[in-house]
Amino acid sequence: MNSERLEQLAGLERALGYKFKDPSFLDCALTHRSFANENPDLMVQDNERLEFLGDAVLTLCVSDMLMKKFPECTEGDLSKIRSTIVNERPLAGLARELRIGDYLLLGKGEDISGGRSKSSLLANALEAIIAAVYCDAGFAGAFDFIATRFNPLLETGVADVLYRDYKTSLQEATQNLFRVIPRYSVIREFGPDHDKVFQVRVSIGDVVCTVGLGRNKKEAEQRAARKALEAIERLSPPDNGEDVQE
């Protein structure tokens, strides 16, 4: 690598919050196959092997984080949460935040066709960068890097998986039983801006009214909906079928 490339990579290191002892790992993580194929005289290695390793490192680290952070979750819930995090869409989103596309080494055709903004290339490059950190700093360094970058995605994944069905289920139940739809309203917000808590009320006519708390409105609504479903179940007598002759 020449000094210009090293200076360019230093900008990405600042965005990543990690300084490589060996910058060649980062350079390799950003080298697309199209660039390596078009420049055989440079004898550079593309990032596909690092991408393979990075996927495994990310999956292991996220699994460990989920196990420790959410001990009450079942294996099925943990798998669902992990799948919302370790997939192309959130990885590409994070790569865009870090402007990884600006640092990719692409072949001319791939560059002209918009390769720097392609979700698949960006997600793959981020996984390769994770592997580069792993190669440069070992598992502990990679884990720290992932924990810093992926904690917000863990929270979002939990909200999406654990709460996403309650509002839908509540609306279906209230329409079938009472011919009304739930009404949600924010009662209050409290706490500092960086750690705000929302209190949301859901009302089903004059039959059920429950309240939920959450770190955002969506989470609070889903928790209120879950409580409302439980309240409706208590209102409904168990279905024992036909009378049984003893």
- Which residues fall within 8 angstroms of residue 174, CB to CB, at 6 or more apart? 180, 181, 182, 204, 232
The H or E element containing residue 22 is none
Question: Residue 219 is which amino acid?
Answer: E
Helix axes 48-69, 119-178, angle to 10 degrees: 40
CA-closest candidate to residue 90, choices 164, 152, 142: 152
> 73 and 81 in contact (C-beta within 8 Å)?
yes
Distance of CA 32 to the CA centre of its chain: 24
- The residue from 27, 51, 110, 127 that is catalytic is 127
Active site residue 127: yes
Active site residue 189: no
Kindly list the distances between the CA atom of residue 128 and the CA atoms of 25, 121, 123, 150, in Å, as whole numbers in the listed order.
9, 10, 9, 15
- The residue from 46, 55, 110, 136 that is catalytic is 55
Q: Which residues are catalytic?
A: 55, 127
